[in-house]
Amino acid sequence: MSRSWLKIAVCLTAGLYLAPAVNSMQWPQDKALPQTRLPDTLLSAQAHPEEVVVAAVTAIREDRLADADRLIDALLTERPNYRLAHLLKGDLLLARAQPLAGIGSGPQGDEKLADLRAEATVRIQRYSAPPPANAIPANLLQLNEAQRYAVVIDAGKSRLYLYRNDNGVPRYVLDFYMTIGKLGFDKNREGDQRTPLGVYFVTGHMPREQLNQTYGKRAELYGVGAWPLSYPNDWDRQQGRTGSGIWLHGVPYDTYSRAPKASNGCVALSNPDMVALGGYLLPGTPVVITPSIEWLAESDWQIRRTAAQAELEAWRSDWESLNTSNYLGHYASDFRTGKTNLASWKQQKASVNADKEWAKIRLEGLSLFSYPTNDGDGLLMANFEQDYQSSNLNMRSKKRLYFKREAQNWRIVYEGSLG
């Protein structure tokens, strides 16, 4: 997304009033704000359609209807299937006869009109209340060297953010508007039309040609292509969640974008945005879907990451020491792995350690995530390759741990191998 005029857009929208209810969104007439003129560069091909919409909404709010009309006409020439732009064009035509009460000032009560208002609201909020400059999502605690990029999705604000792995520090690359499930987030069962919350990984890419061969006419729903995610993951299965086929994908070609809540559970982006994002996605790219993003200054993020690393290191060190009591103290009372509960796990590990004279354990390729949940408690997720050597057994394996808060301490609630 071009940022050549982003500062202008932010300044123009800084005072934009958004009513809590989408269908009561108004055009406030705050004459105290400067009547900044929009440069012709906003009409260039470099301007993202969303930025043009935000600028046009601001122009309408400031009663600069000619500027708004010019912007929307240029946008519709470039993107004739952009329904929100058509709605704004209708408002501009109506404004010639009467004052505008809000976005979509025509007949009330239409579901499609409400969807377009909702889309306008979340798009404008991105510019009127942007994330803190240089802030890092708390979910991305540590990326390994193979994870060149990571995606964080703010399901509550219909926003997707892409971050680059800069020697372990996530750096902002771009962000896009996106669509989630018709009934919101926190998926629990197949067909509930909700988008899951959690940490997932891209498993591959299905270009449009492959979708056509597999799904026929249904492939139109996915636009330019699809990038499947690893839902359900091991934690989802442990919690009894069902369903599958959660993808990042495009939208039908007869529209530019969909409403904030319109999919069957997938995350959908406009086709141009999906193509842009797809250039960064590889198998294994992390995709975090969270109800909201906690933004951290880099110094606070470093503190949070160091604390998470220390928890994992304490577990590794106690395991390596063969101090079975200390090692088992890292596990939660409701720990399970497969059909094994904590009591069985303790018995098994005590028996294994009793036969060992020494052990050496190394963790490689570590990634750490603050794992989002809808109850706000959250988990800590660790992924790594484990090099285990001991007096009677040597082995390498890929492992994943989930920690939960128990008595103010992180305790392992699930442990499993990865293939």
pLDDT, tens only, 222-279: 999 999 999 999 999 999 999 999 999 999 999 999 999 999 999 999 999 999 999 9
**Peptide linkage before 232 cis (omega within 30 of 0):** yes
The answer to whether the beta carbons of residues 319 and 361 sit under 8 Å apart is: yes
- The yes-or-no verdict on residue 315 having pLDDT over 60 is yes
* Residue 267 confidence (pLDDT): 99
| Alpha carbon of residue 307 to chain centroid | 24
Q: Is 146 found in the same domain as 208?
A: yes
Question: Residue 286: what are its φ and ψ, rounded to 5°?
Answer: -70, 140
Q: Is residue 1 assigned to a domain?
A: no
Q: Is residue 239 assigned to a domain?
A: yes
Q: Which CATH number goes with the domain that contains 209?
A: 2.40.440.10
Dist. CA 3–CA 51, nearest whole Å: 9
- The yes-or-no verdict on residue 41 having pLDDT over 50 is no
Q: Report the 10 Å Cβ neighbour count for 277.
A: 22
Q: Name the nearest CA neighbour of 123 among 147, 99, 76, 158.
A: 158
- Mean pLDDT over the full length of the chain: 88
pLDDT by residue (tens digit) across 293-302? Answer: 999 999 999 9
Dist. CA 139–CA 290, nearest whole Å: 9
Lowest mean pLDDT among 71-80, 99-108, 263-272: 99-108
* Residue 131 confidence (pLDDT): 94
SS3 string, 347-362, reads: HHHHHHHHCCCCEEEE
Dist. CA 60–CA 21, nearest whole Å: 20
- The yes-or-no verdict on residue 397 having pLDDT over 90 is yes
Q: Any residues with CB less than 8 A from the CB of 107 and at least 6 apart, and which?
A: 113
The answer to whether the beta carbons of residues 252 and 271 sit under 8 Å apart is: no
Confidence of residue 63 (pLDDT cuts 50, 70, 90): confident
Q: Report the 10 Å Cβ neighbour count for 131.
A: 17
Q: Where are the beta strands (DSSP E) in 242-330?
A: 247-249, 261-263, 267-268, 286-290, 295-296
Q: Is 310 found in the same domain as 242?
A: no
Percent pLDDT > 90 in the chain is: 78
Beta-bridged to residue 337, according to DSSP, are 340
| Mean pLDDT of the region 175-199 | 98
* Residue 103 confidence (pLDDT): 62
pLDDT by residue (tens digit) across 19-38? Answer: 332 233 343 333 332 333 44
Q: Which of 128, 160, 190 is the last residue of a domain?
A: 128
Q: Is 164 found in the same domain as 286?
A: yes
Quote the DSSP letter at residue 23.
Answer: G
Pairing between strand 136-137 and 340-341? unpaired
- The yes-or-no verdict on residue 385 having pLDDT over 80 is yes
Q: Is 345 found in the same domain as 231?
A: no
Confidence of residue 100 (pLDDT cuts 50, 70, 90): low
Confidence of residue 334 (pLDDT cuts 50, 70, 90): very high
Q: Report the 10 Å Cβ neighbour count for 412.
A: 23
Q: Is 291 found in the same domain as 152?
A: yes
* Count: domains in the chain: 3
Q: Is residue 190 assigned to a domain?
A: yes
Dist. CA 153–CA 92, nearest whole Å: 33
Lowest mean pLDDT among 7-11, 66-70, 202-206: 7-11
Q: Is 251 found in the same domain as 326?
A: no
DSSP 165-227: EETTEEEEEEEEE-BEETT-B---STTS--B--EEEEB---EEHHHHHHHHGGGGGGGTTEEE
Dist. CA 164–CA 143, nearest whole Å: 10
Confidence of residue 419 (pLDDT cuts 50, 70, 90): low
